[in-house]
Amino acid sequence: MKTDFSIEQLDELEHCLAGFCERADADLALLTDETGQAIVSGGAIRGIEAASLAALAAANLAATMAIARKVGEKSSCRSMLYEGELKRIYVTASPGELVLLIVTRSDVPIGAVRFFLQETLRSIETITSVERAPEFTEALLDEGFDLEDGLSSLFADTFDGEEPASDNH
């Protein structure tokens, strides 16, 4: 599972979730990894601790998927919906072993949420599947860093130019 996203990827994900919230009339969209680590969010989190919400969403989806398997559900049970008096909470698996939590008012049609969700999940997959080298790797490559030369010079004084003794008997 890849969760070490670049700054550009995080910005794109945040923009994606904000756009989803606007189009689907959602209060909140929170993207987490499968361990419950919050990655980015869109919408408003006023008065809600994102870390706790992320952990609960990931654990709840994992538990629901495990229950589905235990009762013999053959297809992948990858989403769940809670319908309360004031809010609807929709949790779904997202591409790349991510979890997406969506909170809407109870009067927002769930069909509209699911419609806009499909586009958003495709965007998340596109954004997160792009491999981008971290900035420090690019800097090393730009400077012409040679790993073998670097290691040789690092350990040159350790062995005084001699090969290390072997423990072969």
**Residue pLDDT tens, the chain, 169 long:** 456 889 999 999 999 999 999 999 999 999 999 999 999 999 887 777 888 999 999 999 889 888 888 998 876 778 889 999 999 999 999 888 899 999 999 999 999 999 999 999 999 999 998 765 444 444 444 455 455 555 455 445 544 555 555 555 5
**pLDDT given at position 82:** 93
Measure the CA–CA gap between 144 and 127, rounded to whole angstroms: 29
Q: What are residue 32's DSSP bridge partners?
A: 38, 99
Homologous superfamily (CATH) of 7-129 is Dynein light chain 2a, cytoplasmic (3.30.450.30)
**pLDDT given at position 119:** 93
**pLDDT given at position 89:** 94
Measure the CA–CA gap between 127 and 64, rounded to whole angstroms: 27
Closest of 36, 49, 31 to residue 102, by C-alpha: 31
Task: Say if residues 32 and 38 touch (Cβ distance below 8 Å).
Answer: yes
Task: Say if residues 42 and 135 touch (Cβ distance below 8 Å).
Answer: no
The number of beta carbons lying within 10 Å of the beta carbon of residue 5 is 18
Distances in Å between the Cα of 82 and the Cα atoms of 8, 22, 156 are 33, 21, 63
pTM greater than 0.75: no
**pLDDT given at position 77:** 73
Measure the CA–CA gap between 99 and 105, rounded to whole angstroms: 20
**pLDDT given at position 157:** 52
Q: Strand 79-83 and strand 87-94: pairing?
A: antiparallel
SS3 127: helix
